[in-house]
Each structure stands twice: as C-alpha cells, then as structure tokens.
Amino acid sequence: MVRQALSDAISTRVVSTPTLTCTAHVPDAPVVPCLYVQPDTIDFDGTFGRGMDTIYFKLYLLVSRADDVASQNLLDEYIAGSGTASIKAALVAARGAPGVGALDGAVDDVHLISVAAYRWYSIGESTYLGAEFRVRVIGSGT
Amino acid sequence: MSRMVLLNVRTFAGAVDLTGSTNKSEINASFETLDQTTYGSNGWKEFAAGLATTEVSVAGFWDAGTGLATDVDPATFAGLGAVGPWSVAPAGAADGALAYLTNALQASYKPMGGATGDTAGFEAMGRGNTRLARGLVLHPPGVARTVTGTGTSFQLGVVPTGKRLYVNLHVLSVSGTTPSMTVRIESDDNAGFTTPITVATFAAATAASGQHLSVAGPTTDSWWRVGYTITGTTPSFLFVVTAGIA
C-alpha cells in the first residue's frame, strides 16, 4: 500500500528529538510529534494501458504546542529542506536510483512538492502546531 | 466500434511495447495534392493525388526501465535512424482488434523533456517506408507461446490485384535456452483452415526484435492466421502480429 510505504520511508529516515511517530492512517489520538498520510486526489490513466496513475497525498505533521517557541523550532526542523529531521530530505532519499522504483519499489517516483498551512490544528479536544506536506506519487495503475 | 475515450491505445515499435509509457499516439497518412487546375476547371481548383506519406508519432513519459535492451528508453534510442515495424491498436490488442500498421524509419527521439518538477517526458516519431495499412491484430501480446501452434483465424479478406497484405511481427520477449521461433502467415478459403497455404514466413527470431513483410495480391483466400514453430529448451515468446491489406 502506497500510504504505508510513504509512512515507512519517512519513519526509517527522519531522525529527531523527540522521535517522530509515522502512521499511514489518520490517528484518533495522535502521539506527537507525529506524521500521518492522507490521500488527496488520484488522477488515473496518465498513460495508456493503465500504465501510470498519479496520486497526490497530504501528509500532516503535528507537534506539541506545550511551549510556543520550542514547538515552532521543532516543526521548522521537519519542514526544512535539509537536515536529519527534514521530511524533504527523507523523501528525496526514498526516490532510489534512476530506473529503480521509489519507496522501496512500491512506486515509480515520489516528489514532495510543497509545505503549507503552518498553523494550529485541532483534533478532538487537543490543539497542536502543524504543517501540511503535499506529495505526488507516480506509479503503475495495475 | 462507437466513439470512445482513449485509454488503452497499444503502440508497438520494433521489439518494444510503448503502451504503458505513452499517453499520445498519432497516425497521419496523407497524399501530396498536385494542382491540375486549368481554364476548363469551371472556376474550381482541381487536384490529383501525388506521393503519399505516413507518420506515426508518440509521446508520453520517459522510462529508463531496469536496463534491459527492450526497455523504452534504451530501445527507442537504439532504434533511432533504423527502419522497423510500427503497429497501433486504438482499443487494446486482443485477438482481432483493429490495428494500423506500417514499416517506418524512426526519424526522431526526444528523451527527457520537461521542467523542474515535471514528470520526465519523451517523444518519438516514425516516417513510413511503406503504405499505412488498416487491419487487425492476428496474435495478441499477452499470451506466452512455449510450443509450436497456430493462432486464431480471421477473415481479413482477399488481397486484390495491385494491393498487398502487410504484416508486422513484434517479438517482445524471449526466454529459455537456445530459443527460436519462426512465424508464418497462412491463408485459406475457410475459417477451419482445412487446406492452409503458407504465403510468407518471417526470419527466425531468437531474441526480441521486429520484422515487416508484405505479400502481393491477388489472392483468392480470405481467411488468415499466424502459425509459429518454436524450438529450444523451455522456450517462451511474447509477440504481436498485426496484418492489413492496402
């Protein structure tokens, strides 16, 4: 499953303190800092013969808002373009070499396009600081 | 066949199945228009058909594959400047599906197009060396053949005087020890092929490859099929045959 492969690719590559918890599905009770994967749109038939589909995911990363400065500093590490905690760096590393599938062969390629919605998020009774990552995945439609 | 949404255009060039990498496949057949207007043309231009040309062009997403010679990028690059069979089936390549075919010079290949963030694209174009024929798929690509046999018979029609039967063979994959397959084209006057005649035979294929041949009319038989003789140890062939009369 692609969303699990995305979660695993980030989980195995991102190094942060505290440790980032990655889940393929939206959690009822997040254990922060956490990242979860949510499908956004699917474009079928990018090529003939079900050769390629494109799936856009939104990955949400939430951190505790216990301390306003510390939480923002931690989130900044995750949204940075490089560094041990960088989600971008993790997904670039997960692409694999040309001709080799990304996300350990689950898809053809993966691209973190942008980060947006750096704001407070409410889940249940709790509020977190977070950001939204927009990811594009291309792969066979079969 | 009614109007349709293009979802499964199957394009084969030489030994390569371009289907899963292409999202655009166009065939263009045209005649030169030679002006023959005279004072006696009653105020309207008159034209005659001159030389005809065929062009097959494809576009899609660049695919480096895994390094096999039959992967899209290496095979299309290697085919640049070479002449080989091109077949396009607009709605899948099942037995008997509509297909257009020609033998073409691969005149251009544009790999790796696009800007930052785009999915790498490619374009390729072939210029026909023979007529464009409209026919059908005589053998589908998805059925592996491991022993000698024959394909399904189809009533493509007789080949009239002055016309030819054009046939493309695309051998897409070969495995086994010293595998060899010889494909022949048979005709008969009945669907049961009780008295088959071999009208043409391709050269033996021992690796992925493409071949084109044509047979001049007239013929009296209207039923056509492929036959294939396979030898080797645990041989297996995936191949497509398209045929049309033009």
What is the ipTM metric for this complex?
A: 0.88
pLDDT of res. B171? 97
pLDDT of res. A35? 97
d(CA B182, CA B173): 14
A50 in contact with B at a CB cutoff of 8 Å? yes
Closest approach of chain A CAs to the CA of B73, in angstroms?
A: 10
Q: List the single residue in B22, B23, B119 with the smallest CB-CB distance to A138.
A: B119
pLDDT of res. A48? 96
A98 in contact with B at a CB cutoff of 8 Å? yes
Which tokens belong to B127?
A: 């210029």
Closest approach of chain A CAs to the CA of B97, in angstroms?
A: 15
In this predicted structure, the answer to whether residue A99 has a pLDDT above a threshold of 80 is no
Across the range A6-20, mean pLDDT stands at 94
Quote the distance between the C-alpha of residue A98 and its chain's center.
Answer: 22
Q: List the single residue in B9, B65, B117 with the smallest CB-CB distance to A48.
A: B9
In this predicted structure, the answer to whether residue A97 has a pLDDT above a threshold of 80 is no
pTM of the entire predicted model = 0.90
d(CA A117, CA B71): 41
Cis omega before residue B160 (within 30°)? Answer: no
pLDDT of res. B70? 83
pLDDT of res. A87? 97
Q: Give the chain B residue whose CA is nearest to the CA of A112.
A: B117
pLDDT < 50 stretches in chain B:
none
Q: Which residue has the tokens 């210029």?
A: B127
Cis omega before residue B235 (within 30°)? Answer: no
Give the pLDDT confidence of A55-69 residue by residue, as tens digits: 999 999 999 988 889
- Interchain contact, A49 vs B19, CB within 8 Å: yes
Give the pLDDT confidence of B173-203 residue by residue, as tens digits: 999 999 999 999 999 999 999 999 999 999 9
Q: Give the chain B residue whose CA is nearest to the CA of A98.
A: B64
In this predicted structure, the answer to whether residue A31 has a pLDDT above a threshold of 70 is yes
B141 in contact with A at a CB cutoff of 8 Å? no
B22 in contact with A at a CB cutoff of 8 Å? yes
Q: List the single residue in B22, B66, B67 with the smallest CB-CB distance to A48.
A: B22
Across the range A34-58, mean pLDDT stands at 96
- Interchain contact, A46 vs B61, CB within 8 Å: yes
Tell me what the pLDDT averaged over chain A comes to.
Answer: 94
Q: List the single residue in A46, A99, A111 with the smallest CB-CB distance to B23.
A: A46
pLDDT of res. B1? 58
Across the range A109-126, mean pLDDT stands at 94
Quote the distance between the C-alpha of residue A39 and its chain's center.
Answer: 11
